[in-house]
C-alpha cells in the first residue's frame, strides 16, 4: 500500500484534512513530526498548510531547518514525490526545492475564498488525474501568496512548462477574483523540472469530498494514489 | 571580542512592497503628503563573539545568506559595533 507521510510542524493546521484526503483515495497516510529525522518509508510526502512557527521571520523560513526537512530533501533528491500546499509551498521555496518566493499579498489582506485555476501541467505526481486545461474551483486561504521570481526564473518556468496551476484571468470569464494575491504570471503552483516536487497555494484537500461542497481537488490525491509504492520494506507498516 | 550587530533587511528594489505603499498612503492621509518612496523592512540585532570586527561581519553575513534574509527577494545591510 502506498505510504504517504504528512509532516506536522508547530502551527500546521491542514494536517488532518490532508490525511483524510489521502485515506479517501485508499493510500495509507500517517503523520511525522517536525523533530523526526526520517520519513518511516514514505513513498510520498505532503507538507500541509498552516502557519509553521507562527510564520516568524518569513513564512516557511524556520520550518525549512526542521530536522525532518533533511529527510524531505533526501527524499526529493532521490526523485520521491513531494506536495507542498500553501505553507508547504512556502517551505519548499525557502528550502530551495522550488525556485522563487511567496510574499505578502499585493492587497495586504488575508484572502480566504474560492478561486478558479487552470491545470496547466498534468505530468506531475499530483496532477496526472486531470485533463490539461481543466478548470478547478479551489479554496485559497493565505496572507503570503504572491509568487515572485527573477525574470530569468519566470522565463524558465514558462519555457519548461513548470506552471502547474494558474489563476484564471478575468478575460477567461471567471466570475471570481482573477488573481487574489498579485502573483507573477498569475502563478498558483509550480513544480521542479521532473514534476516530482509540486507547490501550490490553493487547498485541494479542502475540496476533496462532496460533503465539503466540491471534489475539484480530489484529483491531486487520486493522482498520488496512482503512484507506485517503493519495493522496500517499510518501517511504517503496521503503524 | 564581543560585537553588537545591526542587520537591516529590506525588500529588493523593484519588487512591489505593498506594506510600504500602505504606510505611504496612511502618512499622506495624516498630513505628511511630502513623504514618498516608503518601504518597510525588518531590523534584527544580535550579539556575537569573534576575534575581529571582520570575522564578526563575515559570520553574520553567513547568517543572513542562510536564514535572516531571503536572497530571492531581500537585500541586507550590516552595522557592526564593539560591545
Q: How far is the C-alpha of B74 from the C-alpha of A101, rounded, in Å?
A: 10
So what's the pLDDT on residue A214?
A: 92
Assess whether A86 carries a catalytic annotation.
Answer: yes
B30 touches chain A (CB under 8 A): no
C-alpha A39/C-alpha A21 separation (Å) is 19
Domain regions of chain A by residue span: 3-225
pLDDT at A118 over 50: yes
CATH 3.40.50.880 fits A3-225, yes or no: yes
How do residues A69-105 score in pLDDT, each as one tens digit? 999 999 999 999 999 999 999 999 999 999 999 999 9
Determine, for residues A65 and B70 on separate chains, whether the beta-carbon distance falls below 8 Å: no
Q: A61–B70: do the CB atoms touch at under 8 Å?
A: yes
- Here the ipTM equals 0.84
Best mutation target among B64, B67, B72, B76 (most A Cβ atoms within 10 Å) is B72
B52 part of contact set with chain A, CB < 8 Å: no
Residue A209, all three cell numbers: 469530498
Q: Is the pLDDT of residue A175 over 80?
A: no
Task: Name A58's Cβ contacts closer than 8 Å, sequence gap at least 6.
Answer: A90, A94, A101, A144, B70
Rounded Cα gap, residues A145 and B19, in angstroms: 14
Asked if residue A222 lies in contact with residue A25, where contact means CB atoms within 8 angstroms, the answer is: yes
Contact A27, A45 (CB under 8 A): no
Mutation site, B15, B22, B23, B70, interface A, largest A CB count within 10 A: B70
Instruction: State the smallest CA–CA distance between residue A58 and chain B in angstroms.
Output: 8
Which residue ranges form the domains of chain B, and what is each CATH number?
2-82 (3.30.1280.10)
Distance in Å, alpha carbon of B39 to nearest chain A alpha carbon: 13
A14 a catalytic residue: no
Amino acid at each position: 500500500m502506498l505510504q504517504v507521510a504528512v509532516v506536522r510542524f508547530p502551527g500546521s493546521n491542514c494536517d488532518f484534512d490532508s490525511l483524510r484526503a489521502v485515506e479517501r483515495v485508499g493510500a495509507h497516510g500517517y503523520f511525522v513530526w517536525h523533530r523526526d529525522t526520517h520519513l518511516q518509508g514514505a513513498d510520498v510526502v505532503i507538507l500541509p498548510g498552516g502557519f509553521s512557527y507562527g510564520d516568524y521571520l518569513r513564512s516557511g523560513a524556520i520550518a525549512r531547518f526542521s530536522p525532518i526537512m533533511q529527510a524531505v530533501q533526501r527524499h526529493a533528491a532521490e526523485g520521491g514525490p513531494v506536495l507542498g500546499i500553501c505553507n508547504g509551498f512556502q517551505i519548499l521555496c525557502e528550502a530551495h526545492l522550488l525556485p522563487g518566493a511567496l510574499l505578502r499579498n499585493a492587497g495586504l489582506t488575508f484572502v480566504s475564498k474560492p478561486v478558479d485555476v487552470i491545470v496547466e501541467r498534468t505530468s506531475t505526481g499530483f496532477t496526472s488525474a486531470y485533463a490539461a486545461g481543466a478548470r478547478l474551483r479551489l479554496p485559497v486561504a493565505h496572507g503570503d501568496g504572491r509568487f515572485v521570481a527573477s525574470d530569468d526564473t519566470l522565463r524558465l518556468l514558462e519555457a519548461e512548462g513548470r506552471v502547474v496551476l494558474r489563476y484564471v484571468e478575468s478575460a477567461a470569464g471567471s466570475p471570481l477574483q482573477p488573481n487574489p494575491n498579485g502573483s507573477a504570471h498569475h502563478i498558483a503552483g509550480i513544480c521542479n523540472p521532473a514534476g516530482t516536487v509540486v507547490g501550490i497555494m490553493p487547498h485541494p484537500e479542502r475540496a476533496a469530498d462532496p460533503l465539503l461542497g466540491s471534489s475539484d481537488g480530489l484529483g491531486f490525491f487520486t493522482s498520488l494514489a496512482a503512484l507506485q509504492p517503493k519495493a522496500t520494506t517499510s518501517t511504517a507498516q503496521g503503524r | 571580542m564581543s560585537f553588537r550587530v545591526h542587520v537591516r533587511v529590506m525588500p529588493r528594489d523593484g519588487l512591489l512592497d505593498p506594506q510600504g505603499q500602505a504606510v505611504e498612503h496612511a502618512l499622506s492621509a495624516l498630513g505628511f503628503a511630502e513623504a514618498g518612496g516608503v518601504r518597510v523592512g525588518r531590523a534584527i540585532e544580535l550579539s556575537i563573539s569573534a576575534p575581529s570586527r571582520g570575522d564578526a561581519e563575515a559570520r553574520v553575513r553567513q547568517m543572513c545568506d542562510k536564514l535572516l534574509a531571503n536572497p530571492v527577494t531581500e537585500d541586507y545591510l550590516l552595522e557592526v559595533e564593539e560591545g
